[in-house]
Structures are given as C-alpha cells and as structure tokens.
Amino acid sequence: MRLKADAAGPADVDDRNRLVMAHIGLVKSLASRLAHRVPAHVEISELISVGTLGLIDAAGRYEPALRVPFDAYARRRIHGAMLDALRDLDWAPRSLRRRGRAIETAMTRLRHELGREPESADIARALNVSEEDYDHLLDQLRSVELASIRQSTDGDGGTRLDVAIDPDEGPHAQLERTELRTLLARAVAELPERERQVLALYYEEELTLAEIGQVIGVGESRVSQLRAQAVARLRSHLAASMRSAAKSDR
C-alpha cells in the first residue's frame, strides 16, 4: 500500500540538501520506532519515503534565526508527515472501530457492576465471545493505536501532548489540558499492574514488544494484547470521567 505526502520547495537548495543528508538517519530511526506500532502491511520503506519528504519540507522551511535546533524542528515534521500519511490510508475498518468501542463500553459497565477492573474473561463473556476470540480482537485493535493516548517522549524532553500545545493558547485551554493530564494519571494508576508495567516499558523505556515479553515472561503476541487492552481501559476511564464531569457542570 502506498503512502502519499507533499514536500514544500526550499529557499536555498544547497542548504536544504546539506541538512537533509546530515539528518537522513533521523528519518530511519523514527520510521523504525513507528513501524512497531502500525499494521504489518505498512512497510518501513514506505514510512522512510514519507518521512524523507517531511525532512525535505523541514529543511526548506527551517529558520536558524529562531534558534530552535534543527533536529527538534525536523523531528516533529518528519513524525507528522508519517502520521498524516497513515491517516490517509484509512486502514482501520469501521467494523473494527465499532468493536473497539464495544470493548470500552463493556469495560465501563463491568467496572461499575463488579466494583473492580474487569479481567479478560469478564470482558469476553460480556461480548459473548470466547477468550481466544477476544485475544484475537485485541491483536486486531493494534491497528487503531495511532488514535490512542500516548505518553512517550518526543525526543525533546516533552511528551507528544506537550508538542501539540499552542504556547499562545488561552487559560481555559490550558486548564483543560491540565485536567486531562490529571484524569489520565488517575486512569493509569487504576490499571492492573501488568498492563501498567507494559505501558511503562513500551512508552517510557521504549522497549520493543519482544523485549517487554522477555522482561515480564510472556510471548510477544501476549504483550501486544496486554497493551491493546490497557489502551482500551484508558479510553474507557477517560470517557467515563469526561461524562461525569459534563454532568456535574450542568
């Protein structure tokens, strides 16, 4: 499947080319990291191709007078170009997204009914599927992970949520972001210990699925399922918290 992206023309071709050649390794590094988080049919060579266009665009637009390191400036444009191209693929079927929402809804209901975090067996029964089919669904849900909440660093010392913040945004928007961070921290704290450990190793320590499996003593496929389930729990927690907050504001 082909990815598409556009690159803007540079003001100085020689300067652009020097920057591009000096930072092509950054494209490969970011593509390699992202390749572990997207469907298998997206090839790393395609990510590199799109990321290179993002690098060329960054080199053409870069303004040294702003005193922002080019590495930091380019990193955001490269990563953004890759994500934009992946979104254009529309590779997550609506039926799969609906099933993902069904899992989150079941988690919320079971959490209320059981008074605890539901286990895999509880969720499978609520969905009227076998535990094996539920595990298979978790494997499939990896393909919608780009839309999930991520707390990994962007390489500049901040989080991807920090990167999206407009420094000129008003106090109300800043308050909303602070509240979102608080809700997310609470949701993470309520995850089962193993799922919390998987997220920490994947997003903070940046270990691969195989490496995480070696740490916690399970196979790579099981790590993928635990991560998908943890992300679904977070989305379920946040949705419930936001609904509760909206009711209290009325």
Which H, E and C letters describe the chain, residue by residue? CCCCCCCCCCCCHHHHHHHHHHHHHHHHHHHHHHHCCCCCCCCHHHHHHHHHHHHHHHHHHCCHHHCCCHHHHHHHHHHHHHHHHHHHHCCCCHHHHHHHHHHHHHHHHHHHHHCCCCCHHHHHHHCCCCHHHHHHHHHHHHHHHHHCCCCCECCCCCEHHHHCCCCCCCHHHHHHHHHHHHHHHHHHHCCCHHHHHHHHHHHHCCCCHHHHHHHHCCCHHHHHHHHHHHHHHHHHHHHHHHHHHHHHHC
**Domain of 79: which CATH number?**
1.10.1740.10
Cα distance between residue 77 and residue 53, in whole Å: 9
Last residue within a domain, chosen from 72, 89, 106: 89
Q: What is the CATH number of the domain that holds 241?
A: 1.10.10.10
Note whether 151 and 191 are same-domain residues.
yes
For residue range 17-30, what is the model confidence (pLDDT) as tens digits? 888 888 989 999 88
Residues 209 and 121 in one domain: yes
Domain membership of residue 225 (yes or no) is: yes
Q: What residue numbers bound the domain in which 233 lies? A: 94-249
Q: Taking the CB of residue 250, how many other CB atoms lie within 10 A of it?
A: 4
Q: How confident is the model at residue 167 (pLDDT cuts 50, 70, 90)?
A: very low
* Residues 179 and 208 both lie in one domain: yes
Interval 43-91: pLDDT, tens: 788 888 888 988 988 888 888 887 788 888 899 889 888 888 776 665 5
- 78 and 27 in a single domain? The answer is yes
Co-location of 130 and 235 in the same domain: yes
In a domain, 205, yes or no: yes
Q: Which residue among 89, 105, 132 closes a domain?
A: 89
**Residue 243 corresponds to which amino acid?**
R
My answer on whether 148 and 237 are in the same domain is: yes
Domain identity same for 44 and 106: no
**29 and 46 co-located in one domain:** yes
Closest CA to 209 of 25, 38, 27: 38
- The answer to whether position 22 is within a domain reads yes
Q: What is the pTM of this model?
A: 0.51
Q: What pLDDT score does 235 carry?
A: 82
Count of domains observed in the chain: 2
Last residue of a domain, one of 71, 89, 107: 89
> Is residue 1 one of the residues assigned to a domain?
no
Residue for token digits 């005193």? 67
Q: Are residues 135 and 189 in the same domain?
A: yes
> At residue 157, does pLDDT exceed 60?
no
Q: State yes or no: pLDDT of 129 exceeds 90.
A: yes
Tell me if 6 is assigned to some domain. no
Q: Say whether pLDDT at 142 is over 80.
A: no
Asked whether residue 49 is domain-assigned, the answer is yes
pLDDT tens readout for residues 83-124: 887 766 655 566 777 888 899 899 999 998 999 999 999 999
In a shared domain, residues 64 and 150: no
Per-chain mean pLDDT for the chain? 75
Q: Are 102 and 81 contained in the same domain?
A: no
In a domain, 7, yes or no: no
Q: Does some domain include residue 60?
A: yes
